[in-house]
Amino acid sequence: MKRVIAVLSDLMFTVKIQDAAKRAGLESVFVTSQEDAITRARENPVLMIFDLNYAAANPLELIRKLKHVYAPFLDTALRHRGKVLIIAVVITAPTLVLSASNKP
């Protein structure tokens, strides 16, 4: 099953993401540490969501690590398998902002 991985701790957004993923036919997985996020990223999720205000996971550093480690592999996988990679960044306060990168 295709899955969404979210790195956050906010209960309200956890419920909203879980509901949206379910309606889209996706499994949702929630992690609270960089180590868990990196491990889950190896499962090739269709979407990763990061709460930029979640200091415990240091999301900006985590995004840099994921881009550095997985960017060459993901670029090759996308060209050869036609998959779509979407990375979303969530800011929980004061407003919700989604920024997506979509590669054909």
Q: Looking at residue 39, which CATH number applies to its domain?
A: 3.40.50.2300
pLDDT score of 75:
53
- Provide the domain limits for residue 95: 3-103
- Among 46, 60, 64, 34, CA closest to 5: 46
End-to-end CA separation in angstroms for the chain = 21
pLDDT score of 60:
85
User: pLDDT tens, position by position, for the chain (104 residues)?
Assistant: 888 999 988 888 899 899 999 999 999 999 999 999 988 988 888 888 888 888 899 988 988 888 777 665 555 555 444 444 445 555 544 444 444 444 44
Give how many domains the chain has, as a whole number: 1
pLDDT score of 42:
83
pLDDT score of 73:
55
